[in-house]
Structures are given as C-alpha cells and as structure tokens.
C-alpha cells in the first residue's frame, strides 16, 4: 500500500478532537483549563468537553470519568501522546514556565522542524506542546535550548514571559 499517494487515503484532513478516560473529571478539567488554557464547552456530572479558545470547534478534548482506572502503563500497547501546537515561540516559553510550576514537564526536545515540551496530566497521560520552526529542517531529536532559540531570534526573555 502506498502511503501518501494521491487517491489512496480516505480523505483525512486533521485531528479534530481527542477523548480521554480520566480518574477524576474535575481535577482534569482544572488542569487542562488552568495549565493549558482550554475552555469548557459543555459540562456533565462525569464528563466535560473542552475547546481551544478561538478554534471554532465544538470541542477539541473530551474527558470521561472512570473512577478507579489504573495509571497508564508503558508495558502495554497504548497511545504515546497527543500534541498541541502553539502559534508563537513566546507561547512555548510561557507553556514551559507553567508546566514547570505545576510539576508536569517531563521532557524537552528540538526536532529541527519543531521545538517540543512533553508533560503529563494528573492521570499520567503524556502530551506535547510544540512550536513549528519556520523553514525548519529535520535533525532527529536533540536537547532543547529554549533560551538559545530566543536569543537566535532576537527575543529577550523578558518579552517572552509577558
């Protein structure tokens, strides 16, 4: 099967939303809204539908409560992470600061085409927040030097954290 060849796909355009099983929907709503900036679209006793402000979508993230579920295990087949893109490098700096503040940040990478932060939500589900490097070139995975990236673009750290 030819991947990406014209006419061989099913017409996919984008990932519109992600739905997660969580152990405590209230805690997860607070995390995704307070830390990542989602807003509540619809709320139910054991579920919530969140959206990225300005996305125009009904929801981008669904949260369904399943009390007593086990933490994700890296020893079984599962989804590794979801990734959300920010619009500006300064947004990534603010995300880094916020994820560190809440103890959620677990990794940082420079892929050449994107600069990425990896974090875990309260249930241990991993996600990525990334910025697409304009004109970037793939370099594999290397350590992220966010201060160096700001300096290279003439952005002072004070500007980035406003």
Say whether pLDDT at 84 is over 80. yes
Residue 30 forms part of a structural domain: yes
Last residue of a domain, one of 28, 43, 68: 68
Task: Give the C-alpha separation, 47 to 112, whole Å.
Answer: 38
Q: How confident is the model at residue 136 (pLDDT cuts 50, 70, 90)?
A: very high
The pLDDT value given to residue 9:
84
Residue 2 forms part of a structural domain: no
**38 plus 104 within the same structural domain:** no
Which residues, including other chains, have CB under 8 Å from residue 26's CB and lie 6 or more apart?
A: none
Mean pLDDT of 100-127: 97
CATH number of the domain residue 105 falls in: 3.10.180.10
Mean pLDDT of 66-77: 85
Residue 138 forms part of a structural domain: yes
Question: With left for phi above 0 and alpha for psi between -120 and 50, is residue 94 left, alpha or beta?
Answer: alpha
3-state class percentages of the chain: helix first, strand second, coil last, to nearest 5:
20, 30, 50
Give 143-153 pLDDT, tens digit per residue. 999 999 999 99
The pLDDT value given to residue 160:
65
The pLDDT value given to residue 1:
42
Tokens read off for 73: 């295990």
**103 plus 126 within the same structural domain:** yes
What is the percent of the chain with per-residue pLDDT over 70, rounded to a whole number? 93
Mean pLDDT of 8-36: 91
The pLDDT value given to residue 74:
83
Residue 5 forms part of a structural domain: no
Q: How confident is the model at residue 38 (pLDDT cuts 50, 70, 90)?
A: very high
The pLDDT value given to residue 3:
53
Give bridge partners of residue 44 from the DSSP assignment: 47
**94 plus 48 within the same structural domain:** no
The pLDDT value given to residue 156:
83
**90 plus 63 within the same structural domain:** no
The pLDDT value given to residue 150:
95
Residue 6 forms part of a structural domain: no
**93 plus 39 within the same structural domain:** no
Work out how many domains the chain is built from and give that number. Answer: 2
Supply the range of the domain harboring residue 162. Answer: 79-162
């Amino acid at each position: 099967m030819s991947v990406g060849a014209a006419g061989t796909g099913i017409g996919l355009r984008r990932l519109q939303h992600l739905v997660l099983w969580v152990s405590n929907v209230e805690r997860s709503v607070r995390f995704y809204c307070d830390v990542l900036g989602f807003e509540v679209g619809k709320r139910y006793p054991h579920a919530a539908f969140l959206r990225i402000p300005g996305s125009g979508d009904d929801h981008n993230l669904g949260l369904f409560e399943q009390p007593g579920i086990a933490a994700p295990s890296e020893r079984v087949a599962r989804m590794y992470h979801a990734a959300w893109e920010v619009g500006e490098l300064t947004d990534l700096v603010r995300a880094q600061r916020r994820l560190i503040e809440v103890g959620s940040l677990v990794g940082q990478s420079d892929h050449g085409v994107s600069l990425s932060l990896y974090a875990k939500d309260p249930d241990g589900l991993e996600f990525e927040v990334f910025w697409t490097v304009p004109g970037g070139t793939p370099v594999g995975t290397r350590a992220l030097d966010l201060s160096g990236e700001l300096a290279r673009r003439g952005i002072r750290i004070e500007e980035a954290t406003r």
